[in-house]
């Protein structure tokens, strides 16, 4: 089955930077309705034409290997293509997805890889808090909801999306529709690639070391499971607050002696926390920008609980910071 939001056509002069060896992917217009076509005995039908006519119905004949090759040819072409990326975003939670949206929209020339440890992208943004449905965003983050077209209710100082999943599924679909973005989910970042940056032992981050998450979970009981790598001049880490998976990059910076110690996320204070996260989203060491709740572990910022405006706007700021440093880091990265 073809991806619903894309048309696949032969390469044209107007091809984007995201190409497969054999095909060029042309995205449909941003707000165009998703095409729905069913194939009945070789002819293209609409859903309405199929209704009530199931006796005559059959799927197009297919050989199983065609399905395998449809997936593997694309995935391995992407692995090959994105081994050299322009920007890698680690973690596809609300901050990482907001970052990807802003970057891909601003710069269609940049190749953006998102690495997400979980099978399901979205991080903690599928529910609003304590397993409730509604998602609260404090103003002025309502601007981001208007940008991506998510409806909300007004509540004065904040707005409410009827279900957090509406925000997450919407931004996810927008991000994945950009031809210059590739999401590698079920894939963990296991380490950072470094280059010497100064004579005092400082490093520049030059990429990420990845592995299938299921493989990463078995390093204790299986040997010889070497990882894969992606080089990129700018890495944006948004792996969330510390926990079994979170704060990955900043914890690694501490163990590599590039950060003295983690500040440790402080107690809950929504007012202080949201401003701090957005304002301090920045490049922590050369080539590595940290945003979202991972940043609270660096700065010792307060936790904010179930209010998500700071995650969206930290993503906006992370994209802005990335574009500020991109040319300098790319020039450094191109040397080795």
What burial class does residue 26 get, using C-beta atoms within 10 Å of its C-beta: 0-12 exposed, 13-18 middle, 19+ buried? middle
CB of 90 to ligand FAD, least distance (A): 5
Q: Which residues contact 254 (CB under 8 A, 6 or more apart)?
A: 260, 261, 262
Please give the annotated binding residues, written as ranges.
Answer: 95, 116-117, 124, 189, 226, 241, 293, 303-305
- Nearest residue to 215 (alpha-carbon basis) of 205, 226, 199, 202: 226
CB of 115 to ligand FAD, least distance (A): 5
Task: Produce one character per residue of 87-102: b if its CB has 16 or more CB atoms within 10 Å, e if not.
Answer: bbbbbbbbbbbbbbbb
Please give the annotated binding residues for substrate, written as ranges.
Answer: 95, 116-117, 124, 189, 226, 241, 293, 303-305
Question: Cβ closer to ligand FAD: 171 or 304?
Answer: 304
Question: Cβ closer to ligand FAD: 142 or 294?
Answer: 294
Question: Cβ closer to ligand FAD: 110 or 277?
Answer: 277
CB of 230 to ligand FAD, least distance (A): 12
CB of 155 to ligand FAD, least distance (A): 19
Question: Cβ closer to ligand FAD: 50 or 165?
Answer: 165
CB of 313 to ligand FAD, least distance (A): 12
**Which residues of this protein are in contact with ligand FAD, per CB under 6 A?**
90-96, 115-118, 123-125, 188-189, 238-241, 245-246, 248, 292-294, 303-306, 311
Q: Which position has the token pair 């032992």? A: 201
Q: What token pair was written down for 33? A: 């309705």
Question: Cβ closer to ligand FAD: 225 or 328?
Answer: 225
Q: Are strands 234-237 and 87-90 parallel, antiparallel or unpaired?
A: parallel
The Cα 142–Cα 152 span in angstroms is: 8
The Cα 265–Cα 207 span in angstroms is: 26
Q: Which residues contact 331 (CB under 8 A, 6 or more apart)?
A: none
CB of 137 to ligand FAD, least distance (A): 12
The Cα 235–Cα 249 span in angstroms is: 10
What's the CA dihedral at 4, 127, 312, 255 to 10 degrees? -110
Question: Cβ closer to ligand FAD: 86 or 294?
Answer: 294
The Cα 58–Cα 39 span in angstroms is: 8
Question: Cβ closer to ligand FAD: 94 or 333?
Answer: 94
The Cα 54–Cα 201 span in angstroms is: 69
CB of 196 to ligand FAD, least distance (A): 24
Q: Which position has the token pair 């065609």? A: 66
Cβ distance 299 to 264 under 8 Å? no
What's the CA dihedral at 285, 186, 137, 151 to 10 degrees? 130
């Amino acid at each position: 089955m073809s991806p619903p939001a894309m048309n696949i056509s032969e390469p044209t002069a107007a091809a984007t930077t995201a190409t497969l060896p054999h095909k060029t992917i042309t995205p449909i217009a941003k707000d165009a309705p998703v095409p729905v076509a069913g194939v009945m005995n070789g002819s293209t039908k609409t859903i309405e034409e199929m209704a009530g006519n199931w006796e005559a119905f059959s799927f197009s004949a297919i050989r199983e290997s065609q399905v395998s090759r449809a997936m593997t040819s694309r995935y391995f072409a992407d692995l090959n293509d994105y081994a050299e990326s322009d920007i890698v975003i680690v973690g596809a939670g609300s901050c990482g997805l907001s970052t990807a949206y802003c970057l891909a929209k601003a710069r269609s020339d940049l190749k953006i890889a998102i690495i997400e440890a979980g099978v399901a992208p979205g991080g903690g943004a599928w529910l609003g808090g304590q397993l409730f449905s509604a998602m609260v965003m404090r103003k002025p983050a309502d601007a981001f909801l208007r940008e991506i077209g998510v409806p909300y209710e007004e509540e004065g100082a904040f707005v409410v999306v009827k279900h957090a999943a509406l925000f997450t599924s919407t931004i996810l679909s927008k991000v994945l529709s950009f031809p210059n973005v590739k999401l590698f989910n079920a894939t963990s970042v296991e380490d950072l690639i470094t280059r010497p940056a100064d004579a005092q032992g400082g490093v520049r981050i030059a990429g990420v070391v990845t592995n299938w998450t299921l493989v990463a979970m078995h390093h204790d009981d299986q040997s010889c499971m070497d990882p894969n790598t992606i080089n990129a001049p700018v890495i944006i880490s948004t792996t969330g607050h510390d926990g079994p998976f979170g704060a990955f990059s900043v914890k690694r910076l501490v163990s590599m002696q590039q950060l003295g110690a983690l500040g440790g996320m402080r107690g809950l204070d929504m007012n202080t926390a949201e401003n701090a996260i957005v304002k301090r989203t920045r490049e922590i060491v050369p080539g590595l920008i940290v945003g979202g709740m991972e940043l609270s572990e660096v700065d010792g910022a307060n936790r904010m609980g179930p209010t998500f405006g700071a995650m969206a706007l930290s993503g906006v700021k992370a994209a802005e910071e990335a574009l500020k440093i991109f040319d300098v880091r790319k020039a450094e990265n191109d040397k080795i």
